[in-house]
C-alpha cells in the first residue's frame, strides 16, 4: 500500500512538471530573452537603410539611416535579412554579441562572374566545393556560360562532372545522376560511369546501379582519365565495392558476399590497407545479417587488425562497429570491454588534436564572423563544424576533389559520450542498474560539455527511468525535466537543420534549372548554326545546277502572272458587261411597264368620251415619254431633270385619279444648284405603287407627299401616302394579281444592287408603315449617296 501511494504521488508530480514545462514552452514561444543589435553595411562599409529584418513569431523591423536595427529574439532563432540589391541572408543567433552584416551587390557579383575564364571558374568551384554549394554552382554556371562557343567537349564535360560532384556531396543524388549523365554524353570515361552508378545506388535506384556497375568495361578502367595505375586500382575497388553494396541493399546476400570477397582479394593484393579495413567490416556486417555469427567475428577481428595499421580514428571506428556486432548478439561483456578500450583511444586522439591545435593556432581573418560579429553574405550559412567535419553517414561518399573516398569507411557520430551511452545501455540490458547509472551520468556530462543533444536526451531519459525504478524520486523528476528541455532544444535544432537543408536544396535546384536553361539555349543556338551552315552548303552546291531552273521558273511565273492578269481583266470586263446588260434589261422592262400603265389611263379617258382631257393627257404623256426614251440609255441623269420627270408623272396620275388623292412635291432649296446625278425612273415605280395599291382603294380622298431633302454626301427622298397600307393591299388583290409578282419594286431592287456594285455608290431603300398600325399608309425612304 505504501509503494502504491508513493507511485501515485510520483505520477502526480510528473504530470504537474509536464504541465509547467508545457506552459513554459508556450511562454517561450511568445516572449523573448534578448534584443539582437546589428548593422547592415555594403561591401565597402556604407550603411544601408530600409532593409527588412524578420525574426521568429512575426517579429519585424527595418534598418535606420545608419543601417542599424534592434530585434527582440531568443537564442537559436533564425533572423532573415532581405533587400533588393543582395541575396537574402539567413543568420542563426548563437550569442548575444552585436552583429555586422556586410552584403555584396548582386549586379557586381554577376559582372565579376561573367568576366572569369573557364579555368579560373573551375578552380574556384573546386575551392568552394565542400564549403559553399551556392558559390560552387555560380562558378560552374560561369564556366559553362561565359564563353560557350569556345568550350571543348572535354571542358564542358568536366564542368558537368563537377556539378555532379557538388550535388553528390550535398546528397541530392538525383541531380548528381542527371549531371553525370550529361557529362558522359559529351566525353565518356569509366570514372564518370562509376560515379553515376554510385549516385544511382545512393538515390535508391539499385537495379539501375547494378546494371551500370556491370556495364563498366574492366579493361577500360586503366584507360580512364585517372591515368595513374594507383587510381585505376582504386577505381576498380570502388566499382566492385559499390556493386556489393547494391546487392546487399536488394537482399542478394550471396552475390554481395562473393563480390566483397573478390574485391577484398584485389585490395589485399594491391596493399590498399584503407579499403581492406572497410571491406572486412562490410563482409562482417553482411555475415552477421545472414546469421553467420562466427564467420562475422573473424572478419571483424581482421578489420580491427587492419585498422590499427591506418590511424587511431579508423581503429576506433572499426572497434565501435565490432562492439555493435557484440551488442546485436547479446555479448554485452565483450561489447563493454571493447567500448571502454575505445574511450581510452578517443581520449588519446582528442588530447593529441588539442595539442596540435594549440601549437598551430593563429588569428584568422574570418574569426569575427565565427564569433557572430561580422558576417559576409557569401559565408552566412557556414558553421565551423561544417568546414572540418570528416565523419559522414554510412551511405555517404565524401566529395573530395577525386571523389574516391569509400562511403562506408567512416561512421557518423563516433564520440566518447556515445560510447559511454552504449556501455550504459549494455549494463542496463544486464540489469546492472548502478553501473548503468554511472555511465549514463558520464555520458550526460560529456554530452553537455560537447553540446550533443541526441546523447544528452537519451542519457537523461534513461536516468529518469532508472532513478524512478530505484526510488530516487527527486533525481527522477530532475532528469525528466532535463529530458523535456533537451527534447525541446533538439526539436528546435532539428527544425533549424531541416529549414537550412530545404533552403539549400531549393537554391541548388534553382541553379540546376538555370543550367538546364543555358544548355537548352546553347543547343538551340548550335542547332540554328548547324542549320544555317547546312543551308549555305546546299545553296552553294546546287546554285550552279539550279540557276537555269530558277530563270525558267521566273519566266514561267511572269508568263503565268501576265496570263492571269489578262484573264482577270477580261473576266472583270465581262462581269461589268453582264451587269450593264442586266441593267439595260431592267430599264427596258421599266419602260413598257410605265407605258402600259399610262395607256390604260388614256384608254380610261376615251372610255369616258372625254376627248379634251384625253388630248391634254396625251400631250403631257408624249412629253414624259420623250424624256423617258431620251434617258433610257443612261445610268444616271441630273437630279433636277429627274425631279421634272417625277413632277410630270405625278401630274398625269393626279389627272386620272383627282377624286382619289392630292399630292405635294417638296424640294429642298439647297438641291436646286446641286450637280448630283441620280438613276432615271428609280422613284417612279414607288410613286406608282403608292397610287395604284394604296390610294386608289381608299374610300375617302387620300394624300401623297414626295419630299427631296439634302443628306450627308447625297440626298434623301421620302415618299409617304396615307393609303390603305401594305397588309390591306395584299388582302384585296385579285386572283390574277396574286399569281404574278409586282414587276416595279422587284426591278427597283435589282437595279439598286447592280448600280451599287458597278458604280461604287450607296443607294438604300427602306419601306415602313406610315401610321401606328399597318393599315394606315406607307413610307418609303430612298437614300442616294454619291
DSSP 325-391: HHHHTT-HHHHHHHHHHHHHHHHHHHHHHHHHHHHH----TTHHHHTTSEEEGGGTT--HHHHH---
Give the ranges where 608-676 is alpha helix by DSSP (H): 611-630, 639-656
Highest mean pLDDT range out of 167-176, 406-415, 595-604, 652-661? 167-176
Q: What is the mean pLDDT of residues 206-212?
A: 91
Highest mean pLDDT range out of 131-135, 562-566, 567-571, 727-731? 562-566
Residue 364 has what pLDDT? Answer: 36
Residue 217 has what pLDDT? Answer: 67
Query: Of the ranges 71-75, 135-139, 414-418, 770-774, which one carries the lowest mean pLDDT score?
Result: 770-774
d(CA 298, CA 274): 18
Strand-by-strand arrangement of the 68-73 sheet: 68-73, 34-41, 99-102, 374-376
Burial of residue 443 (CB within 10 Å: 0-12, 13-18, 19+) is buried
Q: 485 pLDDT exceeds 50?
A: yes
* 773 pLDDT tier (thresholds 50, 70, 90): low
Q: 199 pLDDT exceeds 90?
A: yes
**pLDDT: is 257 or 5 the higher one?**
257
Residue 402 has what pLDDT? Answer: 36
Residue 344 has what pLDDT? Answer: 87
Helices (H) and strands (E) in the chain, counts: 27, 15
Q: Give tens-digit pLDDT for 606-641.
A: 777 677 777 777 787 788 778 777 776 777 888 888
Cα-based distances in Å from 123 to 65, 127, 401, 692:
40, 6, 11, 107
* 664 pLDDT tier (thresholds 50, 70, 90): very high
Q: 254 pLDDT exceeds 60?
A: yes
Residue 14 has what pLDDT? Answer: 46
Closest by Cα among 320, 328, 278, 494 to 416: 320
Query: Of the ranges 340-344, 448-452, 498-502, 627-631, which one carries the lowest mean pLDDT score?
Result: 498-502
Highest mean pLDDT range out of 147-156, 172-181, 351-360, 528-537? 172-181
Q: 55 pLDDT exceeds 90?
A: no
Distance of CA 11 to the CA centre of its chain: 56
Average pLDDT, the chain: 77
**pLDDT: is 435 or 577 the higher one?**
435
User: Which sign, positive or negative, has the C-alpha torsion 505, 506, 507, 512?
Assistant: positive
Q: What is the mean pLDDT of residues 188-193?
A: 86
Q: 383 pLDDT exceeds 70?
A: no
Highest mean pLDDT range out of 2-16, 126-140, 259-273, 355-369? 259-273
Residue 252 has what pLDDT? Answer: 92
Residue 576 has what pLDDT? Answer: 64
User: How many Cα atoms are found within 13 Å in the side-chain-facing hemisphere of 641?
Assistant: 17
What 8-state DSSP symbol labels residue 663?
Answer: E
Share of the chain above pLDDT 90, in %: 9
Q: Are strands 34-41 and 99-102 parallel, antiparallel or unpaired?
A: parallel
Highest mean pLDDT range out of 56-60, 560-564, 690-694? 560-564
Closest by Cα among 702, 751, 394, 357 to 587: 751
Residue 33 has what pLDDT? Answer: 77
Q: Are strands 68-73 and 60-62 parallel, antiparallel or unpaired?
A: unpaired
Residue 108 has what pLDDT? Answer: 67
Distance of CA 209 to the CA centre of its chain: 31
Whose grid coordinates read 539582437?
Answer: 36
Q: 302 pLDDT exceeds 80?
A: yes
| CB-based contacts of 224-233 (< 8 A; 24+ apart in sequence) | 224/189, 224/190, 224/191, 225/189, 225/191, 226/191, 226/402, 231/402, 231/404, 233/266, 233/270, 233/272
d(CA 717, CA 767): 12
* 538 pLDDT tier (thresholds 50, 70, 90): confident
Give the ranges where 377-472 is alpha helix by DSSP (H): 384-388, 416-429, 433-450, 453-470
Distance linking the first and last C-alpha atoms of the chain: 122
CB 686, CB 725: distance < 8 Å: no
Residue 74 CB neighbours (<10 A): 18
Residue 579 has what pLDDT? Answer: 56
* 593 pLDDT tier (thresholds 50, 70, 90): low
Residue 363 has what pLDDT? Answer: 39
Residue 382 has what pLDDT? Answer: 29
Q: 381 pLDDT exceeds 60?
A: no
Residue 505 has what pLDDT? Answer: 65
Q: What is the mean pLDDT of residues 508-517?
A: 64
Q: What is the mean pLDDT of residues 232-243?
A: 90
CB 154, CB 122: distance < 8 Å: no
Residue 390 has what pLDDT? Answer: 31
d(CA 776, CA 772): 7
Residue 465 has what pLDDT? Answer: 87
* 69 pLDDT tier (thresholds 50, 70, 90): very high
Residue 734 has what pLDDT? Answer: 58
User: How many Cα atoms are found within 13 Å in the side-chain-facing hemisphere of 371?
Assistant: 9
Share of the chain above pLDDT 70, in %: 74
For residue 732, give every residue at least 6 positions away whose Cβ sits within 8 Å of its Cβ, in sequence order, or none: 697, 724
Residue 127 has what pLDDT? Answer: 86
Amino acid at each position: 500500500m505504501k509503494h502504491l501511494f508513493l507511485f501515485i504521488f510520483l505520477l502526480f508530480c510528473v504530470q504537474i512538471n509536464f504541465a509547467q514545462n508545457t506552459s513554459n514552452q508556450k511562454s517561450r514561444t511568445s516572449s523573448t530573452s534578448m534584443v539582437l543589435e546589428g548593422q547592415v553595411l555594403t561591401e565597402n562599409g556604407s550603411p544601408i537603410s530600409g532593409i527588412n529584418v524578420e525574426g521568429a513569431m512575426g517579429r519585424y523591423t527595418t534598418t535606420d539611416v545608419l543601417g542599424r536595427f534592434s530585434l527582440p529574439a531568443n537564442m537559436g532563432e533564425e533572423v532573415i535579412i532581405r533587400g533588393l540589391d543582395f541575396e537574402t541572408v539567413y543568420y542563426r543567433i548563437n550569442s548575444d554579441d552585436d552583429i555586422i552584416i556586410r552584403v555584396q551587390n548582386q549586379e557586381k557579383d554577376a559582372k565579376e562572374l561573367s568576366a572569369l575564364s573557364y579555368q579560373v571558374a573551375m578552380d574556384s568551384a573546386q575551392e568552394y566545393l565542400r564549403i559553399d554549394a551556392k558559390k560552387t554552382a555560380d562558378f560552374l554556371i560561369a564556366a559553362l556560360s561565359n564563353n560557350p562557343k569556345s568550350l571543348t567537349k572535354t571542358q564542358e564535360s568536366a564542368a558537368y562532372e563537377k556539378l555532379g560532384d557538388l550535388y553528390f556531396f550535398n546528397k541530392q543524388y538525383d541531380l548528381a545522376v542527371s549531371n553525370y549523365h550529361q557529362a558522359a554524353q559529351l566525353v565518356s570515361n569509366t570514372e564518370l560511369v562509376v560515379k553515376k552508378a554510385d549516385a544511382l545506388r545512393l538515390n535508391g535506384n539499385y537495379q539501375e546501379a547494378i546494371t551500370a556497375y556491370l556495364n563498366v568495361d574492366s579493361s577500360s578502367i586503366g584507360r580512364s582519365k585517372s591515368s595513374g595505375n594507383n587510381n585505376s586500382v582504386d577505381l576498380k575497388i570502388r566499382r566492385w565495392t559499390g556493386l556489393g553494396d547494391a546487392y546487399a541493399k536488394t537482399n542478394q546476400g550471396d552475390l554481395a558476399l562473393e563480390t566483397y570477397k573478390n574485391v577484398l582479394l584485389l585490395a589485399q593484393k594491391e596493399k590498399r590497407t584503407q579499403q581492406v579495413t572497410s571491406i572486412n567490416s562490410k563482409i562482417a556486417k553482411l555475415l552477421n545479417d545472414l546469421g553467420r555469427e562466427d564467420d562475422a567475428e573473424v572478419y571483424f577481428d581482421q578489420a580491427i587488425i587492419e585498422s590499427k595499421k591506418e590511424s587511431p580514428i579508423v581503429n576506433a571506428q572499426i572497434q565501435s562497429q565490432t562492439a555493435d556486432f557484440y551488442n546485436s548478439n547479446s555479448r554485452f561483456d565483450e561489447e563493454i570491454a571493447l567500448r571502454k578500450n575505445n574511450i581510452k583511444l578517443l581520449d588519446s586522439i582528442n588530447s593529441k588534436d588539442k595539442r596540435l591545435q594549440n601549437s598551430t593556432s593563429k588569428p584568422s581573418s574570418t574569426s569575427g564572423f565565427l564569433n557572430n560579429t561580422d558576417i559576409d553574405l557569401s559565408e552566412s550559412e557556414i558553421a565551423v563544424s561544417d568546414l572540418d567535419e570528416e565523419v559522414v553517414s554510412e551511405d555517404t561518399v565524401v566529395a573530395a576533389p577525386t571523389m574516391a573516398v569509400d562511403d562506408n569507411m567512416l561512421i557518423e557520430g563516433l564520440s566518447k559520450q556515445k560510447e559511454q551511452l552504449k556501455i550504459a545501455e549494455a549494463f542496463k540490458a544486464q540489469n546492472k542498474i548502478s553501473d548503468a547509472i554511472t555511465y549514463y551520468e558520464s555520458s550526460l556530462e560529456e554530452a553537455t560539455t560537447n553540446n550533443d543533444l541526441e546523447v544528452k536526451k537519451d542519457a537523461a531519459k534513461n536516468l529518469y527511468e532508472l532513478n524512478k525504478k530505484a526510488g530516487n524520486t527527486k533525481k527522477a523528476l530532475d532528469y525528466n525535466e532535463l529530458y523535456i528541455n533537451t527534447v525541446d532544444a533538439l526539436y528546435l535544432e532539428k527544425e533549424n537543420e531541416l529549414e537550412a537543408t530545404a533552403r539549400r536544396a531549393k537554391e541548388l535546384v534553382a541553379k540546376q534549372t538555370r543550367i538546364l536553361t543555358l544548355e537548352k539555349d546553347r543547343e538551340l543556338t548550335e542547332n540554328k548554326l548547324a542549320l544555317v551552315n547546312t543551308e549555305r552548303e546546299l545553296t552553294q552546291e546546287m546554285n550552279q545546277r539550279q540557276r537555269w531552273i530558277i530563270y525558267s521558273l521566273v519566266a514561267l511565273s511572269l508568263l503565268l502572272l501576265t496570263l492571269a492578269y489578262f484573264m482577270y481583266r477580261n473576266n472583270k470586263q465581262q462581269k461589268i458587261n453582264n451587269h450593264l446588260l442586266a441593267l439595260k434589261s431592267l430599264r427596258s422592262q421599266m419602260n413598257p411597264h410605265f407605258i402600259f400603265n399610262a395607256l390604260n389611263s388614256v384608254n380610261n379617258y376615251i372610255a369616258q368620251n372625254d376627248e379634251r382631257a384625253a388630248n391634254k393627257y396625251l400631250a403631257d404623256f408624249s412629253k414624259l415619254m420623250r424624256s423617258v426614251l431620251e434617258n433610257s440609255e443612261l445610268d444616271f441623269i441630273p437630279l433636277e431633270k429627274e425631279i421634272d420627270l417625277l413632277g410630270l408623272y405625278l401630274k398625269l396620275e393626279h389627272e386620272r385619279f383627282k377624286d382619289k388623292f392630292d399630292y405635294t412635291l417638296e424640294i429642298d432649296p439647297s438641291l436646286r444648284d446641286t450637280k448630283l446625278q441620280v438613276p432615271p425612273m428609280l422613284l417612279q415605280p414607288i410613286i406608282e405603287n403608292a397610287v395604284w395599291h394604296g390610294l386608289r382603294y381608299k374610300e375617302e380622298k387620300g394624300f401623297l407627299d414626295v419630299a427631296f431633302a439634302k443628306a450627308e454626301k447625297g440626298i434623301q427622298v421620302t415618299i409617304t401616302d396615307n393609303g390603305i397600307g401594305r397588309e390591306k393591299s395584299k388582302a384585296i388583290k385579285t386572283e390574277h394579281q396574286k399569281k404574278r409578282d409586282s414587276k416595279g419594286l422587284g426591278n427597283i431592287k435589282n437595279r439598286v444592287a447592280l448600280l451599287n456594285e458597278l458604280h461604287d455608290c450607296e443607294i438604300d431603300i427602306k419601306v415602313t408603315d406610315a401610321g401606328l398600325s399597318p393599315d394606315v399608309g406607307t413610307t418609303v425612304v430612298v437614300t442616294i449617296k454619291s
